[in-house]
């Protein structure tokens, strides 16, 4: 694009690239000023999408506020891709300041207040940002806050399904264009569950932003996006003063109210939150203490807490008031009592209804056959019979992903995370299956292979495991390994038609006509003997 002219804008340089699109530095040849011009990545060719996008850009362009980066122009290229021309704002993002530990309590509140003022203006015009995050908050050379991308996030990657378009920003999955999109750290619970959103979703994101500014770490954490999303939906973070002792209780109350899970329990307007922020900032004064960035994950924070507990126990043992033996006996008794209570209190693994189990097996077999639509229908029946069946939800996510319904796949994986927050409560094989399916849906096929290999080690006589392992190898472009495992499935069960079907397809791809014909003949005969018309059609 560099050097080209779009409308009357000459592209000079690339400023940045992300899941939403590419931003270039450009010169307005009519007015002789520098601007930023954004082209959306993977923009839809659908006429409805373009019309709606330009209509919303027109609405946002009417916003005029000192803390909102202005939209100057909008239009389409000759090949019908929409673009937006924006105010060029220099300076650093809030994300940069967070990484550099460049904030104090007072400065954090100043920045968040200015973002809240921008949100108040937008909400008054019926515009919800829906993508408040550190990279969308820019601080210019004069220290003034500018909020970017107003009204744009809600239209990015929108498809023709009825699901909320924000759903696509939640799963960190690889699209057909090989673009990794999204982070759930600042999404509201409504966005994480694809529910309708309003201005209060922006206030939740603002609360998450404030939390990170004053504590040095995000409000929610996890090893993957599904874990983070589950925390957003279910977990209440520690009060900020538990992490940064300089945070006053009044500021704790503001943050925790903004982060309320239910929208009706949050601030109902940006003005209401602004009033509370202003009062607390006046009470804090000019606190010059810089907030250190904490880069530990939730796991490391937990480990730190455990270490602190051990140190405290060690101190107790050193005190002369009781003998070490007495203290040790007391500690062991308490641990034993706690273990018994947890064992009795922990519910056993969910047992699916008999009808749900039958539909699950039908759907899973259809998945292995490559009949993804049939699989989705059977698995939907399984869930209708038993909505608390985690493996059925996971397999349905796999079917939706094969059918290119990423938003629906995300919803099913979120349901799994809700049903099974602690997978150690499951039988070992079921827990591994959930992890393997999640890895496959997230396109982490190397991890899926490792997990299916572990399942095969635990249950070596189950032929379907080798088909699952073969499919993972196949998706990871390791065809010889895939063939090896499909053949292993036929060795374990010579009447397993699916394994012959899968290996026959790979022989075709290798142009081995004789082996392919033999495998297909064997599969067809077995399907016929079983009365499986769908298998014969495949």
Question: 179 is written with which tokens?
Answer: 């673009």
CB 425 within 8 A of CB 349: yes
CB 451 within 8 A of CB 432: yes
CA 508, chain centre distance (Å): 37
Say whether 56 sits in a helix, a strand or coil: helix
**Burial state string for 430-444 with b = 16 or more CB within 10 A and e = fewer than 16:** bbbbbbbbbbbbbbb
Greatest pairwise CA separation for the chain in angstroms: 86
d(CA 163, CA 387): 20
Residue 427 burial (C-beta neighbours within 10 Å; 0-12, 13-18, 19+): exposed
- CA 160, 161, 163, 168 torsion-angle sign: negative
Residue 422 main-chain phi, psi, to 5 deg: -120, 100
Looking at residue 17, what DSSP letter applies? Answer: E
CB 83 within 8 A of CB 39: yes
Say whether 138 sits in a helix, a strand or coil: strand
- CA 263, 268, 274, 276 torsion-angle sign: negative
Other CB atoms within a 10 A radius of the CB of residue 395 amount to: 27
Q: Is 96 a known active-site residue?
A: no
Report how many helices (DSSP H) and strands (DSSP E) the chain contains, helices first: 21, 9
Q: What angle do CA 220, 221, 226 make, to 5 degrees?
A: 100
* Helix boundaries (H) for 421-478: 428-441, 445-458, 463-475
Residue matched to tokens 């899926």: 448
d(CA 24, CA 1): 9
- Please tell me which residue in 73, 96, 131, 461 is annotated as part of the active site: 131
Residue matched to tokens 């900020």: 240
Residue matched to tokens 């960190």: 172
Q: What angle do CA 168, 172, 175 make, to 5 degrees?
A: 70
Other CB atoms within a 10 A radius of the CB of residue 46 amount to: 12
- Smallest CA-to-CA distance from 376 within 409, 352, 351 is with 409
Question: 258 is written with which tokens?
Answer: 């903004």
Say whether 13 sits in a helix, a strand or coil: strand
| C-alpha neighbours within 13 Å on the C-beta side of residue 487 | 11
Crossing angle of the two packed helices 354-369 and 372-385, in degrees rounded to 10: 170
Task: List residues with catalytic annotation.
Answer: 131
């Amino acid at each position: 694009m560099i050097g080209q002219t779009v409308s009357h804008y000459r592209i000079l340089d690339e400023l940045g690239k992300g899941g939403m699109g590419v931003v270039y530095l450009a010169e307005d040849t009519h007015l002789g000023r520098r601007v930023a011009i954004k082209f959306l990545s993977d923009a839809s060719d659908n006429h409805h999408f373009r019309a709606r996008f330009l209509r919303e850009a027109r609405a946002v362009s009417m916003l005029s506020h000192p803390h909102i980066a202005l939209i100057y122009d909008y239009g389409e290229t000759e090949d019908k891709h929409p673009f937006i021309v924006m105010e060029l704002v220099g300076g650093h993002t809030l994300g940069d300041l967070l990484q550099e530990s460049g904030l104090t309590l007072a400065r954090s509140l100043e920045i968040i207040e200015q973002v809240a003022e921008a949100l108040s203006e937008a909400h008054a015009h019926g515009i919800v940002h829906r993508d408040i995050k550190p990279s969308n908050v820019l601080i210019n050379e004069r220290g003034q806050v500018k909020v970017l991308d107003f009204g744009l996030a809600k239209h990015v990657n929108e498809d023709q399904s009825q699901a909320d378009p924000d759903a696509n920003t939640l799963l960190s999955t690889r699209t057909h264009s090989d673009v990794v999109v999204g982070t759930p750290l600042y999404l509201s619970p409504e966005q994480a569950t694809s529910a309708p959103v309003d201005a209060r979703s922006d206030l939740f994101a603002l609360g998450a932003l404030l939390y990170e500014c004053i504590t040095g770490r995000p409000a929610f954490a996890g090893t993957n996006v599904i874990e983070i999303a589950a925390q957003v939906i279910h977990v209440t973070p520690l009060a900020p003063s538990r992490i940064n002792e300089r945070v006053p209780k009044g500021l704790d109350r503001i943050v925790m109210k903004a982060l309320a899970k239910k929208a009706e329990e949050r601030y109902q307007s940006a003005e209401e939150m602004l009033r509370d922020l202003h009062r607390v900032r006046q009470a804090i004064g000019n606190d010059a203490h810089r907030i250190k960035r904490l880069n530990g994950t939730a796991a490391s924070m937990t480990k730190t807490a455990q270490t602190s507990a051990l140190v405290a126990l060690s101190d107790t043992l050193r005190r002369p008031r009781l003998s070490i033996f007495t203290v040790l006996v007391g500690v062991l008794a308490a641990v034993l009592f706690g273990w018994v209570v947890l064992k009795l209190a922990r519910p056993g693994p969910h047992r699916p209804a008999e009808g749900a189990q039958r539909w699950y097996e039908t759907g899973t077999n259809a998945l292995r056959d490559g009949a993804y639509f049939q699989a989705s229908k059977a698995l939907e029946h399984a869930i209708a019979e038993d909505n608390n069946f985690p493996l059925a939800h996971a397999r349905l996510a796999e079917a939706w992903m094969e059918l290119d319904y990423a938003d629906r796949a995300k919803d099913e994986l979120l349901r799994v995370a809700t049903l099974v927050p602690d997978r150690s409560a499951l039988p070992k094989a079921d827990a591994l299956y959930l992890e393997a399916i999640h890895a496959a849906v997230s396109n982490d096929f190397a991890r899926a292979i490792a997990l299916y290999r572990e399942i095969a080690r635990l249950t070596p006589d189950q032929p379907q495991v080798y088909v699952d392992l073969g499919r993972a190898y196949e998706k990871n472009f390791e065809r010889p390994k895939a063939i090896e495992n499909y053949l292993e499935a036929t060795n374990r069960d010579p009447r397993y038609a699916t394994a012959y079907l899968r290996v026959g397809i790979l022989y075709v791809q290798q142009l081995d006509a004789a082996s392919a014909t033999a495998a297909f003949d064997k599969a067809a005969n077995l399907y016929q003997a079983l009365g499986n018309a769908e298998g014969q059609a495949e």
